[in-house]
Copies of this chain bind each other. A is one copy, B any other.
């Protein structure tokens, strides 16, 4: 039986999970793949901490470079994280002809293009299923299962921390800070939660998805990113009255000309499957010409779900090594010479539906003033609601728009915010509602 030798670099949560899965489920992996996946090295500067792994002597080593240098190692698994040493190690491994598996979305989103180029040049596989959506096989689905489709859109709940917080606010009416504190207490949010709650992590994943879906280079800097820290229980309550839930969505669309790529809180209808994705769970829906819509749902993070995805990549490469098919599936889903530049639409040019909430003084003429400004910028209203609780002497004025252009909305809201009679920064939440159904509530 063919033996494939594996070196795991970095034995934190994910690295430990991968080692555990290879050890605990080695028998079933062998029965399925027909190869022996041999864990030759686990390299980590901390070789002392007990991680509950029964490693053979000599497997745990402090020196990642030595693991990469061993000519017997076939596959290098990078679970170090970050954009520094991880990048160096991956490039070194590729240079030495090793196949590489990584879960490092930040690295791939920000420095992926040269890494992908190096892998292609050296004829090695670079696999990264775990970098988007944890255990959900979204990379494989796009690269392989949807291969006959023209993909037009992907919409994902890609950050479990944000989804947990929004679910908590929705279910219990607590505010953002309280929900975040609970997420931190449960280990669902980091001490510094910025990367998650401000949308960066979801944007890293979206950068990879857009590139994969449409055959373009990764353009992280072109993604519009807005987090969830301004969402209030009041907005969630209004959303519910309109038949919507608020989710942090990562959205990418391609109309054949340009691509949209944006991460922001979004209202979606109750009957959209994504609105039923709660807690730390993730989901991604893909719209494509042959399949219509399909959706994957599962744990987007966590030790063992992530390890499952890493091990599926290892198995794919092992199968290639056994049957002789390295480079069988190109890294970014398209043949390298078919990846073309596609313009990412500036946020100003996005056209969608909007929810606005203004804290306005309860005086005659205020609504007319606000509506007048919106009208001036060609923003047409579908729904207006002004009856509400007074907060600090002001009342919430809520509006839903028909399709409007982001640039117009930005200008109109700036003008409205400058009014004496409007109390604080207006709230804006974009709406994704394919049916474009007229709301009929309150």
Which A positions have Cβ atoms within 8 angstroms of B? Answer: 17, 21-22, 25, 28-29, 31-34, 129, 135-137, 140-141, 143-150, 215, 271, 273, 276-278, 288-299, 302, 304-305, 307-309, 311-312, 314-316, 319-320, 322-330, 333-335, 338
CB distance from A269 to the nearest CB of B (A): 12
CB distance from A212 to the nearest CB of B (A): 10
Summarize A's interface: helix, strand, loop or mixed. mixed
Q: A33-B147, A291-B304, A325-B325 are in contact. List 8 more A-B contacts (CB 8 A).
A: A21-B290, A32-B338, A129-B145, A135-B292, A137-B145, A271-B278, A290-B304, A290-B308
| Identical copies in the complex | 2
What are 15 A-B interface contacts by the 8 Å CB criterion? A25-B148, A31-B334, A32-B334, A140-B141, A145-B308, A273-B273, A291-B308, A292-B299, A292-B304, A293-B298, A294-B299, A296-B297, A320-B323, A323-B325, A324-B325
User: B34 and A315: CB pair below 8 A?
Assistant: no
Q: Residue A150 contacts which of B28, B296, B299 (CB distance < 8 angstroms)?
A: B28
CB distance from A414 to the nearest CB of B (A): 40
Q: Given the complex of chains A and B, what is the CA–CA distance between A21 and B304 in angstroms?
A: 37
User: B292 and A295: CB pair below 8 A?
Assistant: no
User: A298 and B291: CB pair below 8 A?
Assistant: yes
User: B291 and A305: CB pair below 8 A?
Assistant: yes
CB distance from A389 to the nearest CB of B (A): 30
Q: Contacts A145-B312, A324-B325 given; indicate if A289 touches B135 (C-beta within 8 A).
A: no
